[in-house]
Amino acid sequence: MEHHNIFQRIFLLTGFVLMVALPVFGQIPRGIEKIPTPLGHHSIQRIALVIGNSDYSVGRLKNPKNDAQDMAVVLQNLGFEVALGINQTRTQMKEIIENFGAQLNKKSVGLFYYAGHGVQVNGSNYLIPLGANIQKAGDIQGKAIEVDLVLKKMEQAKNALNFIILDACRDNPFSGNYRSYPISGLAEMNAPTGTLIAYATSPGSIAADGKGHNAPYTGKLLKHIQTPLLTVEEMFKRVRKDVLEATNHQQKPWESTSLIGSFYFVPTENAPHRQLLDQVTHAIRLHADDNPRAGHLVGKYVETYGLGSLHANLDMSADNQYKLGKIYRKGYGIEPNAQQALFWYEQAALQNPKAMTATGYMYFKGVGVAKDVKKAVELYERAVEKGEADAMYNLGLLYYTGRGLDKNKKRGLEYFKRAAQKGHRYAIKAVEKLD
């Protein structure tokens, strides 16, 4: 555990993001490269185009880039040949959609995924590219990408099965900035025969970008799309249920479908990621400080299946979430990552007092997050209520030294004594020196 010590002096790429093993379309896309797929037993070719736009000059979004990258990795592991476009301009989006359409054929399954801003105008849905200088609703048609363009490419391919997944109902970037602007949310579209169109939320509603690594919708989609032997309809039902619960029924995913046959993203009993995930969970449960095994396995899983898949599928107790946070914080077998440490600490802090203290320390020091002394103190106080000695010691330091709190040596010493009674070695030394 890290403590304050009274005995001492108190990635930017524009236009594209490079991903290993995934084709990425940037300035001059030339086509969709065919990628070897882990689930090579599929008799039907699976082709996907994934786009995530985050770095808007107006209405910047944190998660679409993460969502698209994680979805691309998962789809590749589900047997799709994946093309990935990050932070795309209108010209780039049009070209990679054209290339996507050219790859589809009568024997293929097509999937288009988009995360970013999307709006509706006169009942038509548009995806907002980077660099779109939109002053009024009338600008949309010439400066955005109509979803119908993707549908037309799918219809021209005459294939039997297609999916369009739109996590694109993020808060309207133009509201309040321009004299007139499009209606928030997306309009419902009729799905042509053999097509399923999935929306992050119901027509005309807003979908959250989310505070975690992924948006709520994509986070749940990453989890259930890897579940074995689920029909696509049942998979989306599970996504809807989880998103409703996660957003307190503020966001209701929606599908429009004209599918005829059945489709399984994982048609076998064993999900490709499950064996490694079980090894990760077991290693974290047995983790001891300085043992790199758990960290090595976490790194291997993230490299293979993506960080979003780890967040979506790793189901652990608060104690193990705390351990994973510590693995990331200290760099046991994995590159240290303060943001991931904070993520897992905060998950664990709902129940685990050690995690409350660790999270409080990161907020106090501003590690992986903006410095927030008030929040740190609140977390320490919650941990103290549960008898956590580290939190008692840290609060004692804050009061005794006046760092972030009104200086109160008497109260600080009281916290030191409480921690010392629990055997806290630094608190024992502090009491011996100060009492």
In this predicted structure, the answer to whether residue 61 has a pLDDT above a threshold of 60 is yes
Model confidence band, residue 30 (pLDDT cutoffs 50, 70, 90): very low
28 occurs within a structural domain: no
What's the pLDDT score for residue 120? 84
> pLDDT tens digit string along 135-154?
777 788 889 999 999 999 99
Q: Give the distance, in angstroms, between the CA of residue 246 and the centroid of all CA atoms in the same chain.
A: 14
In this predicted structure, the answer to whether residue 10 has a pLDDT above a threshold of 50 is no
In this predicted structure, the answer to whether residue 171 has a pLDDT above a threshold of 60 is no
Q: What span, in angstroms and rounded, lies between the C-alpha atoms of 71 and 151?
A: 20
37 occurs within a structural domain: no
What's the pLDDT score for residue 32? 36
> 47: which strand partners?
81, 110
Q: Over range 103-121, report the average pLDDT.
A: 93
In this predicted structure, the answer to whether residue 413 has a pLDDT above a threshold of 60 is yes
83 occurs within a structural domain: yes
110 occurs within a structural domain: yes
> Which of 19-28, 37-46, 411-420 has the least mean pLDDT?
19-28
Q: Over range 322-342, report the average pLDDT.
A: 95
Q: Does one domain contain both 194 and 248?
A: yes
Number of domains in the chain: 3
Token look-up 């109160």 returns 408
Q: Does one domain contain both 96 and 167?
A: yes
Which residues constitute the domain of residue 278? 273-348
Strands 161-167 and 195-199: parallel
| Mean pLDDT score across all residues of the chain | 85
- Looking at 297, 318, 348, the residue that finishes a domain is 348
- Looking at 348, 365, 398, the residue that finishes a domain is 348
Q: For the whole model, what pTM was predicted?
A: 0.76
Q: Over range 27-34, report the average pLDDT.
A: 36
Residue 388 contacts residue 415 (beta carbons within 8 Å):
no
Q: Does one domain contain both 71 and 135?
A: yes
51 occurs within a structural domain: yes
Q: What is the arrangement of strands in the sheet containing 80-86, beginning at the earlier edge strand? A: 80-86, 45-52, 108-115, 161-167, 195-199, 254-257
Q: What span, in angstroms and rounded, lies between the C-alpha atoms of 72 and 165?
A: 13
267 occurs within a structural domain: no
- Residue 35: partners with Cβ closer than 8 Å, 6 or more residues away: 21, 22, 23, 76, 81, 82
- Looking at 291, 314, 348, the residue that finishes a domain is 348
What's the pLDDT score for residue 42? 54
Name the more confident of 154 and 202: 154
Q: Over range 365-387, report the average pLDDT.
A: 96
What's the pLDDT score for residue 273? 85
What's the pLDDT score for residue 183? 55
15 occurs within a structural domain: no
Q: Does one domain contain both 247 and 390?
A: no
Q: Does one domain contain both 107 and 141?
A: yes
Q: Does one domain contain both 316 and 219?
A: no
Q: Does one domain contain both 89 and 230?
A: yes
